[in-house]
A and B are shown apart, each in its own frame.
Chain A
Amino acid sequence: MSARALDGIRVVELADAWGEWCGKLLADMGAEVVKVEPPEGCASRRVGPFAGDVAGPERSLYFWRYNTGKRSVTLDLAAAGDREALRRLVAGADVLLESLPPGEAGALGIAYETASAANPRLVHAAVTAFGQTGPYVDAAYRANDLIIMALGGPMQACGYDLEDADVAPVRAGPYHAYHTASHFACIGILTALLERETSGRGQFIDVSAQAASAVTVEFSNTYWEYARQVTRRQTGRHAFPRQTARTQYMCTDGRAINLAIPFDGRAYGRLVRYLREQGLGEGLADDAPDDPLRRLAEGSIVLGALEVLAARHSSEELFHIGQGMGFTWGAVRAPEDWLDDPHARARGFFVEIAHPELDRTVPYPGASFKSTATQPRIDGRAPLLGEHNHEVLGNTPA
């Protein structure tokens, strides 16, 4: 097996949804990630969907997805002996990744101040909803993915044009507040490990999921800071201070497609010529030079033509037609559509992971990038509860 960047890096993970994705990325990159769970198993083992729709700690597809390649040990942290075992694990670790409520690491005897005294090279990353200190922490604010998508800003931008539906803004799919927090935890950990190669010392990393989402909303922040303008939600496209041209259309297969009008002048000319060839867009001049005024004048004609065009094709057909002409068009696919996709196959994106307990393999989305030297990979299915107690803890009672 080829080398990976984090070969030899030992990670202790005491994390739930806020940090599990980070631990999974570290495991893919070669770190030995030991997940510490309570005897009944961590909360994400109880999150469905479940294999065969039968609940159980070893059947959560959610747990599988976010915990591949990790090892599981069970510790009863209410017991002094097991807390001692945890302290020993942390003393021998390069990274502690935790999502405990602020202050709880101290109660468990693994506060950064004490753990780093015994292990100065330790990188301790804490991933929480709001960070370690501050008014919401003092007031014991509670949050999950939905609440952070609201308080962090993504939600205000996501939803529908009023004329489409007068409904609440939407969460934009599940778990992205967790993903974003985990991405910043991973960035922080890798940065600290790299710096440690020079200084020989670790450090503490405080990640706030709310802050992570609050810097992940693009235009909304810049329009407020530079123009004191507030963006409004628009179906399937960027929230913007003013109403913008639609980009999402329905195709013959009942699926949507994103047909953005090209920014680039030459590509815009190609689009106009194509529409005219298709007998669409009457009134468009197919040889006029591109300029902003022309586009403004032609806007509603182009949009009307695109709507008719979409109604003549399936979303997949039109996606490939548009890309063939150099347009940034994209079919609104379902995630599972990629399983049979020739591009995903050619790149070997999905990997079959063995689940011996089910006597089968399951396709997982593979590494988030390809590398000529340190290819990340999935080492194996998520661990059974306590599967590595003996291997990791030795004689320590679990």
Chain B
Amino acid sequence: MGALDGIRILDLGWAMAGPQATRILADFGAEVIKVESRARPDMARTIFGPRVGAEDINNSGYFNNFNRNKLGITLNMSRTEGRELFGRLVAISDGVLENFSAGVMRRWGFDYEGLRAMRPDIVYVSMAGLGHSGPYEHYQTFGPTVQALSGLTHQSGYPDLPPAGWGYSYMDHTGGYTGAIAMLQALFHRRRTGEGQHVDLSQVEAAVALTGAAILDYAVNGRRSTREGNRSAWPPMAPHGVYRCAPQADDPIGDDDWVAIAAETEEQWQALAAVLGQDAWLRDARFATLEARLAHQDELDEGIEAWTRGRSAQDAQRVLQDAGVPAGRVQRSRELYDDDPQLAHRGTFPTVDHALLGRHRVDGMPAQLSRTPAEFHRGGPLLGEDNAYVYGELLGIGPEEMARLEADEVVW
């Protein structure tokens, strides 16, 4: 039994943020019906990769990862009859979630009022980049835009270099997590009171919320925010960095093996010095106290890297952790998926079957519920894979009518 068994979500999510939100609901057992059309398939099928094998609308591994556990239907929303069918689906659903630009749902007649006319207690979560009101309501974003605008990009990188930003759409993931939270709290409220709601989620606002104490520091102390590479002003730690290790023969990029090391306590600092054979550092005026180390981080980092350069990141991690020093290899997805024993122990990447791609691992659910754990029972849907079930069984549309709807490019 899944925790969300019996809950049906109509999913108009596309690209990543919306699908990320609904995949969490699907993992916990909600029946998520993903709505696409041949005229406008999810761009995750066509633009986001990798796509595997021969050209096919169903060959995206990316799509599979973010849409496993979901049902898929085709529905042409540009047709009047398509919008009527959508209304019938709303009437039998508990929630609707979308991450279109603001205004798209309104044009179809399915803003909150329109949805509520079909289902009075519907929960509607919209996830536009900048929300559904305000002067930038119609601005368009994808993950990197959200990260740039919010301040997250500004906070990432070295202070003497331009921002490094994020090497992936952190805010598509995290906007999706916030969308799932918004949907769950709304469903909880509805279960207790019978009342539905519209959640207007702005991904940029969700991102600004994650900039730590930066805004308070400006408001209270007048200090502008900055970036600090891999160092840590708060809490103050030194060393606190990422160090180059010995090149590995199987390194796919070459000389790109790194280990992160942080000493949070005096005890860990002493253990680090001992492992590195640098007991003299403990008496060195540059390093003897935390204050001194913070003032001499460049020299300290050089000394540490002289040691890490002589061994693999894996060895450095093991030797340091054995001595009680926080350390971790900078793991690539190769290591996450294939090497890391802790992630493997937790079953972090479960396997699903996809009708075209076959058996593949997907990103699993890191919150493990003891009685109603997430379950992984199918891969992402082929385009329109579940038309027969959704239109036939759920809406009771007969085969002749289905044939007509397909011929008229309504179910299409």
Contacts and interface: CB of A to CB of B under 8 A. Distances in A.
Given A164-B161, A170-B157, A347 B202 contact: yes
Contacts of B361: 225
A151 B184 contact: no
Interface stretch (B70-78, B82-90, B325-333, B386-394): B325-333
B208 A203 contact: no
B328 A185 contact: no
Interface string A299-334: 000000000000000000001000100111111111
B49 to A, nearest CB: 7
Given A168-B242, A336-B219, A369-B178, A238 B169 contact: yes
B57 interface: no
Query: For the complex, would chain A's binding face be called helix, strand, loop or mixed by DSSP majority?
Result: mixed
B211 interface: yes
Contacts of A172: 152, 155-156, 164-167, 170
A214 B343 contact: yes
A256 B163 contact: yes
A170 B363 contact: no
A349 interface: yes
Interface in B210-241: 210-221, 223-225, 227-230, 232-236, 240-241
B244 interface: yes
B209 interface: yes
Contacts of A168: 229-230, 241-244, 258
Nearest to A184: B367
A372 B348 CA distance: 36
Nearest to A237: B144
Nearest to B124: A372
B191 A194 contact: yes
Nearest to B63: A222
B139 interface: yes
Interface stretch (B126-134, B286-294, B402-410): B126-134
A142 B267 CA distance: 13
Give the one of A131, A146, A335 with max B CB within 10 A: A335
A65 interface: yes
Nearest to B52: A226
B182 interface: yes
A270 to B, nearest CB: 12
A236 B365 CA distance: 28
A47 B234 contact: yes
B351 to A, nearest CB: 10
B140 interface: yes
A78 B128 CA distance: 49
Contact of A169 (B24, B330, B365): B330
Interface string A207-220: 11011101111111
A27 interface: no
A21 to B, nearest CB: 8
Given A133-B345, A168-B243, A334-B225, A183 B148 contact: no
A49 B213 contact: yes
A89 interface: no
B332 A224 contact: yes
Interface in B316-366: 321-322, 324-334, 336-337, 340-343, 345-346, 348-349, 357, 360-366
A201 B370 CA distance: 11
Contacts of A46: 235
Interface in B1-59: 3-4, 16, 24, 28, 43, 47-50, 52
B152 to A, nearest CB: 6
B216 to A, nearest CB: 4
Contact of B333 (A180, A224, A248, A258): A224
Contacts of A193: 188
Contact of B167 (A25, A157, A230, A319): A157
A221 B337 contact: yes
B369 interface: yes
Nearest to B253: A232
B196 A236 contact: no
Contacts of A157: 166-168
A51 B217 CA distance: 8
Given A173-B155, A179-B174, A218-B168, A49 B337 contact: no
B167 A159 contact: yes
B192 interface: yes
Contact of A170 (B47, B178, B219, B230): B230
A329 B329 CA distance: 34
Interface string A262-283: 0100000000000000000000
B135 A258 contact: no
Interface stretch (A97-105, A360-368, A389-397): A360-368
B80 interface: no
B269 interface: no
B141 interface: yes
Contact of A362 (B157, B219, B370): B219
Contact of B65 (A149, A154, A222, A344): A222
Nearest to B324: A142
B43 A263 contact: yes
Contacts of A197: 188, 191-192
B331 A150 contact: yes
B167 A374 contact: no
A231 interface: yes
A258 to B, nearest CB: 4
Contacts of A214: 336, 340, 343, 348, 363, 366
B91 interface: no
A51 B4 CA distance: 44
A336 B240 contact: no
Contacts of B173: 180, 216, 218
A267 B342 CA distance: 45
Contacts of B136: 323, 343
Contacts of B242: 146, 150, 155, 168-171
Contacts of B134: 342-344, 346-347
A224 B337 contact: yes
A233 B210 CA distance: 23
Nearest to A358: B220
Nearest to A185: B367
Contact of B262 (A144, A192, A256, A363): A144
Contact of B364 (A147, A215, A364): A215
B342 A183 contact: no
A130 B44 CA distance: 31
3 tightest A-B CB contacts, nearest first: A157-B167, A335-B151, A226-B61
25 contacts: A43-B235, A52-B220, A150-B329, A157-B166, A159-B157, A159-B164, A165-B158, A170-B164, A171-B242, A175-B212, A184-B366, A187-B24, A187-B184, A214-B363, A217-B336, A231-B333, A235-B162, A235-B164, A238-B168, A258-B153, A330-B149, A331-B149, A336-B219, A362-B216, A365-B209
